[in-house]
Amino acid sequence: MKYLSTSKNEDNKIINNPDWVAMKYQYFSAVILTEKFPNNIFIKTKEINESEKFLRQNTFKTKFVASGRNENINFTWYFVPNHLKTLKKINKNLENLVPLGWSLIGWINEYIVINIFYFFESMGLGYGLIIFLMALIIKIALFPFTYKSYVSMAKMRILKPQIDLINEKFKDPLKKQQETMSLYRKTGVSPLGGCIPIFFQMPILFALFQFFPAAIELRQKSFLWADDLSTYDSILNLGFNIPFYGDHVSLFTLLMTVSTMIQMRFSNMNTSNSQMPQLKYMMYFMPIVFLGVMNNYAAALSYYYFLANLMTFAQQKAASFMIDDSKLIAKMEENKLKSPKTKSKFQARLEKMIKDQQNLKKPK
């Protein structure tokens, strides 16, 4: 697909052999179809400053070559909602008008998120409940990976006293890092184990970031104090604009931000981050950034992220009952007594880097 920007003027952009031409807005599109367009379509868009009724003018032109005989060329004009099922019925790949995201993000939306959403919608459930059930299903599906990360964080917490001893014993940063990696290898602990769920969760979070603002089904649908889930849920109009934040207060965004801070602080209390003090600042910086970004986004999106945080609390609490520290300690001690483990590729590369840096420091 080729697009014209709605934020700047573009003149005489040429599109060859299009299937259709559309003027797309957030929830509706004007579409022109024909059996076969001419080879070249000339499109332009410009902002209209002098009019109070119109904001932008979009124009498309084409040329037909006279063939010397009478011909009928039929055009079909649609003004349609950007609703995936409706657009698919028209065909001609019109579903591309719904911005589901690129590559993996689009695939997750098209084959997972939308199918779950339509399944619950077909049951006649309210959209607030549908979003809750979507969050619940996704959290349950990812729990096996999340649980492994909790186990990994518990192991890191158990190793913290030994890591503190290494930090006291060795003053040289390279030697300190080498001994720490050796401890991880002997006990069978992966320092990156706590990051595993992020690789699975981030594409889904980005997919939902695309899906909720584009879902026409949520337009003018209310839930709790939100009058319209497709836009922000303002509970207070400030009367003035705060840069990067806006002129209103979105309650779902506020709840999401506070719950994110609490959840991150709770996670840091249960892990050893003494070697990464910068995480203390990130714990507050990132939620504040999202507070500014999400304040003007769809209430459905902030509501989903807020639910996801609450469910993460529940999973962390459940994991704390399921994980037995004494068994983990016994397993790590058993690993120490076993034959030396083969280094992982990551550990081997890291240790090689450390040795190379040590060699560079040696006097020649």
339 pLDDT above the threshold of 60: no
233 pLDDT above the threshold of 80: yes
Contact 187, 336 (CB under 8 A): yes
Q: How many CB atoms lie within 10 A of CB 121?
A: 14
Which residues does 307 contact at the CB level (< 8 Å), separation at least 6?
A: 131, 132, 135, 136
The secondary structure element, H or E, covering residue 182 is helix 173-187
Edge-first strand order for the sheet with 10-16 is 10-16, 40-47, 56-62
275 pLDDT above the threshold of 50: no
Closest among 252, 363, 257 to 303, alpha carbons compared = 252
Contact 31, 21 (CB under 8 A): yes
Q: What is the pTM of this model?
A: 0.77
Which region among 103-112, 157-166, 229-238, 301-310 has the lowest average model confidence (pLDDT)? Answer: 157-166
3-state secondary structure of 40: strand
Contact 119, 126 (CB under 8 A): no
Average pLDDT over residues 55-75: 69
249 pLDDT above the threshold of 60: yes
Question: How many Å apart are CA 5 and CA 44, to the nearest integer?
Answer: 10
Question: How many Å apart are CA 156 and CA 332, to the nearest integer?
Answer: 11
Question: How many Å apart are CA 187 and CA 179, to the nearest integer?
Answer: 12
Q: What is the pLDDT of residues 148-161, one digit of tens each?
A: 888 888 887 887 88
Question: How many Å apart are CA 292 and CA 295, to the nearest integer?
Answer: 6
pLDDT band, very low/low/confident/very high, at 276 (cuts 50, 70, 90): low
